[in-house]
Structure 1
């Protein structure tokens, strides 16, 4: 049994609130350990540490700050396998998928090594008679991140990297379901030379979240999770004068045109729909074939592929996916499938009764495939977050593009086609934040920004890329004139370029 407390002032500390939560091991349903749930007093201690440490860290030049990130990258490489197993045991995803989780986070850290360039301001020489104007990007101070269970390495690193590279100190509140990897990440940053207090990890529940939102010393909050909580955090944070960057749920569509390479399309759908047991905000959960003949070909090829998916334990490297994160998550997914059947969708592959031999207490479910789903059904409207793919048949291309455009969510979307005109039109007209053309999971590379539209995202700036450095800094503009050439006497007219 492991015990996970908090990481404050550069070291692990035990929780003092007396409240804990179980850390489960989804592959067999066992209790792996306990995680402390912090009080407001423990959070406040972390904030005070962060506030004190930030002063010296901000005064450290950007090049020296990013040397810490470079050393951190080396240290993670030495522990890649251990971190991946730790992540797999607590989340449930397979070890290869866990390694991908870590790698996508490290790619953002790699981009953050360019912070000295990304933090540069602008300069205009001779903006007026004897006047120079320049801008500075300066850190906000203490900032915080509230991150989800489904990417316990990637999303914390997406937030920590640009925040500390920009000279802020950081408070991380990771998911209490899989807290071990975030704690180890914090230790590795200290080993890499990050000053104590610049990065703190406070484990907890809603009480800590509200404490972060209300603390006057925390200047910005980033969040990834469900849409209702994203809306709540964004509203409360901004009401308290904080910057907020909140990302919510998704219902990602893949449009399949009649000319698409069907074998390539099915390969893409299988990976994007069922990878990580569907517990990804960028998972494709709706396939939209255009025309009945396209739909029939698609479903005919999908059925045997879904039936052949290999479900295994989190430690089985050959498995296509493992268990879902909790027993409650498994129950919720099955309830959605039951509801889809009642609403009249055709369940052509039913994975509800799957049992993993030797892991009967684990949270396993095989892939489910629905056909003839309609936009009025709950399984279409809401995010299921499980290994469930719905086929919504569209008569025409215009009917197909209308589906993602009119959906509540606008996170990711893809089109599979050989027609460049159709792809170009789709990319221009679709009302979704991230678009893939013959790419099933359109997650941008780390030096572009990641973010959804509509109910999938709240706030003006996205995650990673240049937006991250804009979010974690404030711009100061300096207009300077030196005594040479200054006329005597007061001026009462607002300065202009005339």
Structure 2
């Protein structure tokens, strides 16, 4: 095992391999910018070719291993991950800054994902059909595709790669993972543990690098599937490239998620939900609650005041401290970007109820901390109401009725997650159907999708391209169908003619 502050090597097909670039980037703890977590190679085209070469050889053998046997690797990986859960959680918190309790939850999601897809090893079902001709049968089967290029984000550097790796490997594919440069170590550990679990040589590689290296993976003619979690801008470029090359592509992109609060909402439940949805993971989730669309009522003003007062009391600090509720932002650049949204919102007429500043003093000077921020007076077409911030900033938008609330909720280019708080079952179900989003919640915040189980995860509109992670639908990305006709009539039969 390599330790912190080590100069790391790529894991190419199960072997630690020095990058031919001889160039490195440094990764620091966002809660303590003086703590160097490691130096990681800036991989290049030569490194990728080595991974591709090993993957091609491995694929020819791995695809022939029965799926239940492939599943045994995932089960063993789940067992190893369970034993190392605390160690992996500590690494995750140091990389991302998220509170340790959230990191433990993310590692549990990896375990759950492995368990789920291991079970699917005995249920990779095709279909049977009825032929129009006698003594003839028709079946369809799923088959693997080849080398899958997986490009993941820094905010969930363990869970999100596992969503991609598990169904890909189970289906008989091989994978090349590029971890985010802002959280490179967690994905590295995933691949390391898969090899500990008995994954054959060459079936998985993890290479470090920048966005330019990710582009090499996307454009390489031997990568047959690309799955990426990232921004809308990058996703569109990837989709265009994959379209020209006619390769499968799965996109999980941005979100501008809303909680709709109606006048009959349970106020205490709503308060807890908004705080968790907006400020969990420091607002750095694609599903984070970045808009509170609240119906004007006898209690709405007092609720907004209480929300701001409570948010001000949230404990911000190093995620390794057990009492920390909100960690740092991932980098100085990102903190500056988040602050820019706040400044522009104020210029447009927004009213900062709490937050809106860098946090300093004592240990807070060490990292990229930002105050949990709530801004009222936001109109539906303002930047803060329509653009993803990816930070601890909540826009409060007041509406007059249910119909207006739904219209405002849908008034964005994204379509990932929306929620409604109400006791009216008719409005709750109407909202769940009318939200233009891939995920809808009733009386729960916009975060918390159970992707380690049988549920699909993904969005509408500019949040993605219709693909889904999690659940059996994930297999659609990593398999291709084959239709097999069996004629046992001992004579020529012509469909649509005889």
The answer to whether the 8 Å contact 1:292/1:393 transfers is no
Work out whether residues 404 and 410 of structure 1, in 8 Å CA contact, stay in contact via their aligned partners in 2: no
CA distance in 2, matches of 1:130, 1:481: 6
Determine the C-alpha separation between the residues in 1 that align with 2:301 and 2:481.
55
Question: Which residue in the other structure is 2:59 paired with?
Answer: 54
Which residue is 2:30 aligned to?
Answer: 26
Look up the match of 1:15: 19
Match of 2:111 in 1: 106
Establish whether residue 451 from structure 1 lines up as the match of residue 455 from structure 2. no
1:461 aligned residue (455, 467, 471): 467
- After superposition, residues 328-347 of structure 1 pair within 5 angstroms as 328-347=333-352
Q: Please say if residues 166 and 469 of structure 1, whose CA atoms lie closer than 8 Å, have aligned partners that are also in contact.
A: yes
Secondary structure (helix, strand or coil) at the match of 1:263 reads helix
Mapped to 1, the partners of 2:388 and 2:313 lie a distance apart of 24
1:126/1:251 Cα in 2 relative to 1: closer, same or farther (>3 Å)? closer
Q: 1:476 aligns with which of 474, 477, 482?
A: 482
The separation in 1 between residues aligned to 2:273 and 2:131, in whole angstroms, is: 55
Question: Is residue 274–residue 367 contact of structure 1 (8 Å, CA) maintained in 2?
Answer: yes
Deviation, 1:359, is 4.0
- Residue equivalent to 1:296: 301
Map 1:419-438 → 2, pairs under 5 A: 419-438=424-443
User: Take 2:290 and 2:434, find their aligned partners in 1: how far apart are those partners?
Assistant: 21
**Residues 79-90 of structure 1 mapped to structure 2, 5 A cutoff:** 79-90=84-95
Aligned to 1:5: 9
Following TM superposition, by how much is the alpha carbon of 1:420 offset from its aligned partner in structure 2, in angstroms?
0.4
Task: Name the count of aligned residue pairs.
Answer: 491
Alignment-derived partner of residue 496 in structure 2: 496
CA deviations on 1:344-382 (whole Å, 9 max, x unpaired) are 101010241421523413111121111111122211121
Matched, 1:122 2:135: no
Alpha-carbon shift at residue 297 of structure 1 (Å) = 3.1
Q: Once the 2 structures are TM-superposed, how far is the Cα of residue 195 of structure 1 from its aligned partner?
A: 0.4
Cα distance in structure 1, aligned partners of 2:244 and 2:470: 24
Give the Cα–Cα distance (whole angstroms) in 2 for the partners of residues 314 and 425 of structure 1.
39
User: Residue 411 and residue 124 in structure 1: after superposition, are their counterparts in 2 closer, same or farther (change >3 A)?
Assistant: closer
SS of alignment partner, residue 392 of structure 1: strand
Secondary structure in structure 2 of the residue aligned to 1:390: strand
Tell me how far 1:157 sits from its aligned partner. Answer: 0.2
Instruction: State the superposition RMSD in angstroms.
Output: 1.6
Provide the C-alpha distance between the structure 1 equivalents of 2:49 and 2:207, rounded to a whole number of angstroms: 10
Q: Which residue of 2 aligns with 1:202?
A: 207
Q: What is the TM-score when the length of structure 1 is the normalising length? A: 0.95
- Does the alignment pair 1:233 with 2:268? no
The answer (yes or no) to whether the contact 2:132–2:495 under 8 Å persists in 1 is no
Q: Where in structure 1 are there 5+ consecutive unaligned residues?
A: none
| Cα distance in 1, alignment partners of residues 450 and 295 from structure 2 | 26
Report the counterpart of residue 44 of structure 1 in structure 2: 49
Alignment correspondent of 1:318? 323
Q: CA deviation at 1:117?
A: 3.8
- Pair 1:97-2:111 in alignment: no
- SS of corresponding position for 1:348: strand
Instruction: Find the residue that maps to 2:7 and give its secondary structure.
Output: strand
Whether the aligned pair in 2 keeps the contact of 1:451 and 1:457 (CA below 8 Å) is yes
4+ runs deviating over 6 angstroms: none
* Contact 1:40/1:207, CA 8 A, preserved across alignment: no
2:253 is matched with which residue? 248
Whole-Å Cα distance in 2 between the matches of residues 453 and 338 of structure 1? 30
Q: Is the 8 A contact 2:335 2:368 kept in 1?
A: yes
CA 1:356/1:145 → structure 2, altered by over 3 Å: closer, same or farther? farther
**Match of 1:177?**
182
1:128 offset after TM fit, Å? 2.0
SS at match of 2:26: strand
Deviation at 1:406, TM superposition (A): 2.2
CA distance in 2, matches of 1:328, 1:452: 27
The Cα of 1:227 is off from its aligned counterpart by 0.8
- 2:405 alignment partner in structure 1: 400
Counterpart-to-counterpart distance in 2, 1:202 and 1:229? 19
> What's the CA shift for 1:136?
1.2
- Asked whether the equivalents of residues 367 and 388 of structure 1 are also in contact (C-alpha less than 8 Å), the reply is yes
- 1:126-205 mapped onto 2 (5 Å cutoff): 128-205=133-210
Deviations 1:25-82 (A, max 9, x none): 1111123321111111101110111111111111100111101111111100111111
The CA distance in 2 between the partners of 1:269 and 1:34, in whole Å, is 38
Q: Could you report, residue by residue, the CA deviation over 1:422-477 in whole angstroms, capped at 9, with x for unpaired residues?
A: 1011112121111000111252442121001111112x321121221111001000
- Calculate the TM-score normalised by the size of structure 2: 0.95
8 Å CA contact 2:68, 2:122 repeated in 1 = no
CA contact (8 A) 1:414 1:442 kept: no
1:211 corresponds in structure 2 to 216
Q: Does 1:417 align with 2:426?
A: no
Structure 2: 5+ residue stretches without partners: none
